[in-house]
């Protein structure tokens, strides 16, 4: 595994199962709620995913199954690829309680052998903190393209690259200095960052959390990378920040299609 993958695997494996139980609840309770209202878990993404019944979906970096299991409840055949065993443990327990099948591959996606998965998925779906885990975006977009069937669709929701120039890059973290400008939008080196859930633990324990290594991409790099992999861009939808600064973009969703024979 490359250095970035190793570091991020360690970070995402640290106390993750414990966190999911504390934050979301016991697998049996979470499963019950997902069965009751699966679409709520998919937020606005359901609009872009469409009717998923009978669809084969790769939920890349799908974490503890908060999106994959509701998709399976709605009738999709879902495969998660994620680097953390802890996430798998929680996701598999919830899926079992919900009575749905879930294929869960624990792997660094950049090192996953996809030979058996080429041209096999209707949708590749990723959301909520994805692209900064990869140092080579072209390699990732080509892999995703290869996994899709002709006519297949990419639905990618991620944090907006504009956050690169704010002092606080985490768009969930509301602080007075959140929007103070700093840094360089065009920087391209790896940065040390906290694992997303670290701040949900008591302050005294936060220092013990292993850190992540992140590469923050610009919007131009993201769109160019998926376009050069062969995708036809259908839509790029930008949405506001999650805090009170609704006049600034916080996230985006890229919808793109694979329409022709693999290059």
Ligand X SMILES: C[S@@+](CC[C@H](N)C(=O)[O-])C[C@H]1O[C@@H](n2cnc3c(N)ncnc32)[C@H](O)[C@@H]1O
Q: Which two tokens stand for residue 171?
A: 């768009």
Answer yes or no whether residue 66 interacts with ligand X by CB under 6 A. yes
Among 30, 52, 56, 84, binds ligand X (CB under 6 A): 84
Nearer to ligand X by Cβ, of 136 and 180: the residue is 136
Measured CA to CA, the distance from residue 126 to residue 158 in angstroms comes to 8
Answer yes or no whether residue 87 interacts with ligand X by CB under 6 A. yes
Which residues 192-251 are close enough to bind ligand X by CB under 6 A?
196
Nearest C-alpha neighbor of 263 from the set 141, 123, 116, 145: 145
**Per-residue burial over 35-51, b = 16 or more CB atoms within 10 Å of its CB, e = otherwise:** eeebeebbeebbebbee
Measured CA to CA, the distance from residue 248 to residue 175 in angstroms comes to 15
Nearer to ligand X by Cβ, of 63 and 146: the residue is 63
Answer yes or no whether residue 109 interacts with ligand X by CB under 6 A. yes
Nearest C-alpha neighbor of 82 from the set 66, 100, 98, 59: 59
What character string, x for contact with ligand X (CB under 6 A) and - otherwise, covers 133-172? x---------------------------------------
Among 42, 57, 73, 83, binds ligand X (CB under 6 A): 83
- Ramachandran region of residue 158, left (φ > 0), alpha (ψ -120 to 50) or beta? beta
CB 24 within 8 A of CB 30: yes
Alpha helices in 74-215 (DSSP H): 85-98, 137-147, 203-206
Q: In angstroms, what is the minimal distance from the CB of 133 to ligand X?
A: 4
Among 49, 61, 123, 213, binds ligand X (CB under 6 A): 61
Answer yes or no whether residue 12 interacts with ligand X by CB under 6 A. yes
Q: In angstroms, what is the minimal distance from the CB of 190 to ligand X?
A: 13
Binding site for ligand X (CB under 6 A): 5, 8, 12, 61-63, 66-67, 81-84, 87, 108-110, 127-129, 133, 196
């Amino acid at each position: 595994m490359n250095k970035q993958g190793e570091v991020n695997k360690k970070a995402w494996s640290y106390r993750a199962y414990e966190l999911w139980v504390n934050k979301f609840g016991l697998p049996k309770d979470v499963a019950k709620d997902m069965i009751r209202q699966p679409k709520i878990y998919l937020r606005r993404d359901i609009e872009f995913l469409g009717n998923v019944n009978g669809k084969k979906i790769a939920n890349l970096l799908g974490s503890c199954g908060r999106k994959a299991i509701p998709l399976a409840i709605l009738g999709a055949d879902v495969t998660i690829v994620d680097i953390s065993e802890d996430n798998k443990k929680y996701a598999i327990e919830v899926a079992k309680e919900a009575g749905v099948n879930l294929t869960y591959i624990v792997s660094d996606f950049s090192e996953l052998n996809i030979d058996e998965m080429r041209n096999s998925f209707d949708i590749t779906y990723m959301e909520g903190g994805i692209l900064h885990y990869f140092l080579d975006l072209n390699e990732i977009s080509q892999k995703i393209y290869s996994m899709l069937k002709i006519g297949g669709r990419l639905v990618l929701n991620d944090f907006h690259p504009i956050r690169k120039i704010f002092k606080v890059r985490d768009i969930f973290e509301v602080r007075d200095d959140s929007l103070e400008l700093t840094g360089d939008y065009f920087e391209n080196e790896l940065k040390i960052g906290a694992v997303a859930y670290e701040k949900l633990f008591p302050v005294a324990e936060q220092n013990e959390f292993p850190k992540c290594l992140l590469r923050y991409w610009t919007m131009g790099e993201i769109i160019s990378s998926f376009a050069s992999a062969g995708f036809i861009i259908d839509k790029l939808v930008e949405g506001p920040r999650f805090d009170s600064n609704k006049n600034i973009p916080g996230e985006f969703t890229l919808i793109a299609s694979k329409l022709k024979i693999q290059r």
